[in-house]
Each structure stands twice: as C-alpha cells, then as structure tokens.
Structure 1
C-alpha cells in the first residue's frame, strides 16, 4: 500500500469518526431508544465500492475502536462490532452481485444485518431471547436509515467520479 492510498484511508477514517461523534452530540430525533441514522456509514458504503475489502474493513475498525474511545462508552463496542461485522460481510457479498447503481439496496440490507448482529450480541450478552422482540422495529428503522445513507453514498460516488 502506497502513502497516497494510506492517506486516503486515514482521511476517510477521520471523516467517518467525525460524523460519528457529531451524530452522538445531536439529540436523537426518534422517540425509540437506540435508533439513529448511522451517518458515518455513508463513508463505509462509499469505501466499499471504491476500495479493497481489507481497506474498507480497516476504515470500519478504526471508526469502531476510536468511536468507542471518543464516545466514552467502551461497553458499546461489543454491540457495534457485532453489527459492523455482519453488515460489512453482507455488503461485501452484495457488492459482488449488485451494480453500482444499486448501492442504496446494498446499504439497506447492510443496515438490517447490522441490527441483526447487534441483537444477536445482546442475546448472548444478556442471556435473554426477550431482546429479539425489539428486532422488527429495528429492522424497519434500520431499513429507512440504510436507504438514506445508501442514497447519500450513491450521490457521493457519482459526484466524485467526475
């Protein structure tokens, strides 16, 4: 990996982290605990279609680790990591079959997989299947958030192609 590529990845990681921290500081407009837009995922979806899988994974890992530090909530790292791994693996698979014009669909499915990963982590950590009742609501809101972030990533990709 050359210096230019490493610098690009570092900048994308920083942008994702900044967006993540800003989103933490904005009061949640949704009356549902735990629901958020996940705006930092715009960077992830963009990177998924512009960089190698390992490079995208590095961006996600940096955002996860530093996000846990900057948010002051390291215990949330387990939930975030479970969601991020499921999301990233699913979107990497989808990237192989979906055309670039359907990034929004990849993002929706990625958001849903993120929610499934988080709920799976919650079931394991809390040793209770009761949290699964929260999954349908998370899947609906996650789909909407995934659509928004996917459309933003699509716009970003189209603009930066020029």
Structure 2
C-alpha cells in the first residue's frame, strides 16, 4: 500500500512538471514559419516515464497532461491534434522500449517525435480535408528528428539524475 501511494505521488509530480514545462514552452515564440513545429519539451517527462512506469500509468500521465495543457493553454480545440500525436507517439515508444534499452532511450524519443508529428498531421488531414497538408510532412519529419533527439537526450539526463528516486 505504501509503495502504491509513493508511486502515485511520483506520477503526480511528473505530471505537474510536464504541465509546467508545457505551459512555459507555450510562452516561447515559434521561430519557424511552419505551424506545429516546436520542441515538445514536456515529452522529456513522457520518455522518462515510458522507461520507468507501467503502461497504464504513463497513459494516465499523458492524458492528464493533454487535458490540463489544453485547459491551461486556452486551446481546447487543439486537444484532438495533441491527443492524436501524443498517443501515436506513446504507442511507438512503448513498442520500441522492448528493443531499445534505457541507455539509448533518446532513439525511442526520436521515433516518438516523428510519430507525434505524423499523428497530428493525420488528424489535421481528417478534420480539415486538405490534402496539401502533406507538403508540411518533410519539414515535420526533420523537426521531429531534431526535437526528438534533443528531448531524448534531456530525458537521458533526467534518468541519470533520478536514478535513486524510485527506491
């Protein structure tokens, strides 16, 4: 019982940190003329959680972050895009976790970022019915690889720093 309470408290802290990072990142102006390109710094926490928590716990963390992020960010309409990207990213990283160890989790983050952009673009195609959106895809792939590598390396550092936290 005590272990469950500790685990729940840790997940609450991780969710809060991810939400804070998300809200702070919203304040940073996008230097790129292409919509949808951003670092996705809150995914540092998601990548860490994928390698240290159970599937349903990570799914809850992501869900709470998505919903509260939409509320605090003031953009409820973006929730569908965010959810499509986040869940596709999560599924991909959970599958990749089986073949990529924790020492190389940054690679899972790169794939996750690419899948996140793919999920968002697919949702945009479904909702907006504008096939020209595919023209953004090469830019989203490149930015996803770069952002995923950055957030993955940050998650790698978080993993090292939080080594004794789960005891």
| Fold shared, TM-score > 0.5 on shorter chain | yes
Residue in 1 that maps onto 2:16: 14
User: For 1:20-59, what aligned pairs fall within 5 Å after superposition?
Assistant: 20-59=22-61
Residues paired across the two proteins, number: 162
Matched residue of 2:98: which SS? helix
Please report how far the alpha carbon of residue 93 of structure 1 lies from its aligned counterpart in structure 2 after TM superposition. Answer: 0.1
TM-score normalised over the length of structure 1: 0.96
CA deviations on 1:36-77 (whole Å, 9 max, x unpaired) are 100000000000111111111111001000000011110000
Residue in 2 that maps onto 1:151: 153
Residue in 2 that maps onto 1:137: 139
Matched residue of 1:35: which SS? coil
Matched residue of 1:97: which SS? coil
Distance 1:84 1:5 in 2: 22
User: For 1:107-146, what aligned pairs fall within 5 Å after superposition?
Assistant: 107-146=109-148
TM-score normalised over the length of structure 2: 0.93
RMSD: 1.1
Residue in 1 that maps onto 2:69: 67
Distance 2:70 2:101 in 1: 33
